[in-house]
Structure 1
Amino acid sequence: MKKIVKTLAALSLIATAGATFAQDVLRVSAIPDEAPTELQRKFAPLGAYLEKELGVKVEFVPVTDYASVVTALTSDKIDLAWLGGFTYVQAKQRGKVTPLVQREEDSRFTSKFIASTASGAQSLKDLKGKTFAFGSASSTSGHLMPRYFMQKQGIKPETHFKNVAYSGAHDATVAWVASGKVDGGVLNSSVWDKLNEAGKVDASKVKLIGTTPTYYDYNWTVRSNLDAKLQKKLAAAFLKLDAKKPEDKEILELQRATRFIPTRPNNYKGIETAAREAGLLK
């Protein structure tokens, strides 16, 4: 009898281990704030790491624009998404989502204002009557927060600049300014630093003319009805990434992170306020 009980207990443990989560594929996406090939390159090592930590297949689901990520997450088409602060606020308005972790850097994020050297501009005021580019209309660091801080300075983009355009992505904004398509633009500090480190910014054509105050930005967010155990394991996987370990260092460097830290909805109250004041959120 004892042998039968032990056997049943063992089988129960095996069954439980094999059915820890209700799903066997974790569908992940990200706002397309950079070129699709770059997003895939950045995610590949992280995806492999998460598969190992979670014991489930991790599948990256590319999208064409910011709105598509919000729609996919709030309609249960994806499980986990890399969102900007503004897209998180938009997702929270449309459905039940939970912000899990953010990079430590995202608690003090900034945007960079740039101008073509040909414009002769040294500041935003010098770009009056010239052309300007934001990133995506739904971008926190490429549109919302820069617009918010500009308006605090008394600069209304639609009247200050000759024309306002949207490049769709941070790296595209730099390319537009460098090519002379626009006289100035704004992008997030992380991409600006990365492009400079990679030698992809021609200093003879593009220059930095300003930096915004700090604000909260990016985070990894899950749909709230994702298996609770899986949510906890996901957060733990991000939090234990350690830059001192060579295998983790590569992942963190690609994510432009020193480490990940927990985050919470209240961190993004400021962004929600900025969006309402800028007329971008009802």
Structure 2
Amino acid sequence: MVSHNRRRLGLAAFMMLALAGGVQAQTAMPGVLRVTAIPDEAPTELARKFAPLGKYLEAKLGMKVEWTPVTDYAAAVETVVNRKVDLAWFGGFTFVQANVRSGGKMIPLVQREEDERFRSVFITDAHSGIAKLEDLKGKTLSFGSASSTSGHLMPRSFLLAAKINPDADLKRVSFSGAHDATIAAVAGGKVDAGALNISVWEKFVAEKKVDTNQVRVFFTTPAYYDYNWTVHADMPADLRQKILDAFLALDANTPQGKEILGLQRATRFVPTKAENYAGIRAAAENAGLLK
């Protein structure tokens, strides 16, 4: 009888362990990969850019991929830190913010080759008389989002390096919320100048969405590291590797790769690491923007 009871207890314990293992496996390998991005462009544009990439990732990973839009940059940071989403397109500054908030739990997987030498541009009305950074003194300027690397942090950093304090030396500083909105603010005469991501500016020029006879670039910053695709360190290593491999496999010589890379404004994706963003963190701390 004792032996029989022991066998029953052993079987029950085995069943409990098996069930627990099943739950762990389900948590480790979710059926849905939730993806978000900082809203540096209009929501419809972000969704359009992601659609073919999402389908590609579904095929490569063998799981459903779900687009999860957020309202602002801070929300993008919080959703990843709190594991509400699994994969996020961050700017360099939002990656740094998320990494600090999570206690170093963010892992940047890949960046576009272009993100190794990213730049910002300052634009103005062609008839404003602004020709250099120093000419901004006493003028109005629009950044993008307060948490934008290329639309705020790095432009502010280069202004400070030129001995220009935006908050003291300019007539007014405003935040448009997104790069395309900054272009619209300058083109519409709402501000004298604006600072934004060079990639969005070049896209608008190429698509003739901005008249370069009316709005022009008067300063381009030195290069710095910027955007990346980031995951939480708690993601299972095998899934993390599959995502990395999927991005690295994108090839502009294939129809699918050409479409996806074109929408992402990328030549190709390359591996990246947290150390690449040490300069961004230093710039944020120097500008008093990292809390």
Superposed pair shares fold, TM > 0.5: yes
1:37 to 13, 34, 44: 44
Which one has the largest radius of gyration? 2
Q: Does 1:126 align with 2:135?
A: yes
State the AA in 1 paired with 2:246.
A
Residue correspondence of structure 1 range 22-33 to structure 2 within 5 A: 22-33=29-40
Q: 2:222 aligns with which of 213, 216, 220?
A: 213
Residue in structure 2 matching 1:86, options 69, 86, 93: 93
Compute the displacement of 1:157 (Å).
0.7
Shift of 1:204: 3.0
* Aligned-pair identity (%): 61
Question: Unpaired runs of 5+ in structure 1?
Answer: 1-14
C-alpha displacement of 1:120: 2.0
Q: CA deviation at 1:97?
A: 1.3
Query: Per-residue deviation at 1:205?
Result: 2.1
1:259 to 249, 268, 280: 268
Question: Could you tell me how far 1:19 is from its partner in structure 2?
Answer: 7.6
Contact 1:21–1:229 (8 Å) recurs in 2:
no
For 1:118 and 1:94, the matched residues in 2 are separated by 44
Q: CA deviation at 1:20?
A: 11
Amino acid at match of 1:243: A
How far is 1:118 from its partner?
3.3
SS of 2:127 mapped into structure 1? helix
Q: How much has 1:223 moved relative to structure 2?
A: 1.1
Q: Deviations over 1:150-198 (max 9, x none)?
A: 1011011112211000000000000000000000011011101111000
Deviation at 1:281, TM superposition (A): 1.1
Q: What amino acid sits opposite 2:74 in the alignment?
A: A
Bigger drift between 124-133 and 159-168 goes to: 124-133
Equivalent positions of 1:1-282 (< 5 A) are: 22-95=29-102, 96-282=105-291
Distance 2:171 2:62 in 1: 54
CA distance in 2, matches of 1:240, 1:90: 29
- CA-based RMSD: 1.5
Cα deviation, 1:32-64, whole Å, max 9, x if unaligned, reads 000000000100000000000000000000000
Count of residues in correspondence between the two structures: 266
What runs of 5+ residues in structure 2 fail to find an aligned partner? 1-21
Tell me, in whole angstroms, the C-alpha distance in 1 between the residues paired with 2:26 and 2:133: 57
Give the Cα–Cα distance (whole angstroms) in 2 for the partners of residues 281 and 86 of structure 1. 9
CA drift of 1:228 comes to 1.4
CA distance in 1, matches of 2:42, 2:96: 23
Deviation at 1:258, TM superposition (A): 0.3
1:119 is paired with a residue whose SS is coil
Work out whether residues 205 and 212 of structure 2, in 8 Å CA contact, stay in contact via their aligned partners in 1: no
SS at match of 1:195: helix
